[in-house]
Amino acid sequence: MIVQLNKQVSANQISNIQSFLKEQDFDYIYQDFNHQLIIPALKNKSLLSHFDFISQSIEITTPYQLSSLLYKTKTSFDVDGIEVGGNDLNLIAGPCSVESEDQIHEIAEFLNKQQIKFIRGGAFKPRTSPYSFRGLGNKGLKYIREAANKNNLRVVTELMDLSNLDDVYNHTDIIQIGARNMSNFSLLAELGKTKKPIMLKRGMSAKATEWLLAADYILSGGNENVILCERGIRSFDIQNRNVFDLGVIPLMQSLSHLPVFADPSHGVGKAAFVNKMGLAAIAAGANGLMIEIHPHPEKALSDGEQALTFNEFETFLNATKPLLSAINKSADFIESNNILKLQTLL
């Protein structure tokens, strides 16, 4: 249950209701910035009926509270002039890793020409092998920020741990939390204290409820700007890097008000399948996509096998246009006089 207190509530009244909850053995979180109590185990609001400074009580029957569709119908927010979670499809594209200044500037210039508004690129990379390229660190952050500023792009990059929070925070517009950190609850709680938008990728074996509870760690700290991103889950099938769970997109939208993005690049792990699965994610209702591209995937220092070439990415953009028109969505890069047949890709 989520309990909203009056704006004029006094410190003494807050103390009284907190004491009552402790006596009743209810765990809770109090958000002082909006005078809100989150009490997951409380199901009967009549228990609080004698507190006359409560303005509203919202009964939520699921373990997750603030991410629930019962709490709120829709979340959208502004990222430097671009709406996320609205009616438009948001596209994020870029390399797995920032490899050099020249590389990220070449990609940023290409994205600008395609009217894409978001660039991705890892400066700190979590790699399975300690011998793999793990990013340029702060130098990579500097390169991608400069390239983005020059080409009117917003930056999406990954935060791995709290030691890099200040540097990442100062160089990015959306902080990405990777699958390995979805359950790093101390990190998520700290991000809840910020106002920077957070893209929370699904853990490799995470259930829907676990994913939404992870989102609640951020939301309960006061940061309401959260994006969920499906990136594939681990499977027994060795032919696929992951299983790209398209069904989870409408599922999450039936459970939560948060925007749901999809990452087909990690979802399938092979460039040949990325375009088709990207289209499928759009058809499934995704609010946005994250796609890896590289000017020379064969020379990429990480995940080159799943990166699209510039030409392949342009083909994908052209194929999205009739699909978006058919499902009554739009995107910044679409020109109404340039609608191509969907069969160019299928």
Q: Could you tell me if residue 165 is inside a domain?
A: yes
Shared domain for 53 and 84, answered yes or no, is no
Strands (E) in the chain, as ranges, are: 2-5, 29-31, 36-38, 54-58, 77-79, 82-84, 90-94, 118-120, 154-158, 174-177, 198-201, 226-230, 260-262, 288-292
Do 135 and 227 lie in a common domain?
yes
237 found inside a domain? yes
Q: Is 309 exposed, middle or buried (0-12, 13-18, 19+ CB in 10 A)?
A: middle
Amino acid at 194: T
Do 111 and 14 fall into the same domain? no
pLDDT of residue 131: 66
**Pair (168, 236) in one structural domain:** yes
272 with 300, same domain: the answer is yes
Same domain, 41 and 190: no
What's the average pLDDT block by block, 10 residues per block, for the chain (346 residues)?
94 95 94 92 90 94 95 96 95 97 98 97 83 84 98 97 94 97 97 96 96 98 97 86 94 98 96 97 97 96 94 96 83 50 40
Enter the tokens of residue 18: 């907190």
Name the residue range of residue 16's domain.
Answer: 2-58
**The residue count for the chain:** 346
Query: In this structure, what CATH number is given to the domain that contains residue 135?
Result: 3.20.20.70
The residue type at 30 = Y
Count of the separate structural domains present in the chain: 2
Residue 65 located in a structural domain: no
72 is a domain residue: no
Residue 63 lies in a domain: no
Which pLDDT value is given to residue 326? Answer: 85
Are both 11 and 87 inside the same structural domain?
A: no
Is 293 found in the same domain as 172? yes
How many other CB atoms are there within 10 angstroms of residue 278's CB atom?
Answer: 29
Strand 29-31, strand 36-38: pairing: antiparallel
Looking at 73-216, which runs of residues are DSSP E strands?
77-79, 82-84, 90-94, 118-120, 154-158, 174-177, 198-201
| Residue 32 within a domain | yes
Do 189 and 104 have their domain in common? yes
Same domain, 133 and 279: yes
Is the residue at 114 inside a domain?
Answer: yes
In angstroms, the Cα distances linking 95 to 88, 120, 132, 266, 291 are: 23, 7, 16, 12, 8
Mark whether 49 and 101 lie in a shared domain. Answer: no
26, part of any domain? yes
Same domain, 331 and 294: yes
Residue written as tokens 């599922």?
A: 251
Give the integer Cα–Cα distance in Å for 276 and 303.
Answer: 19
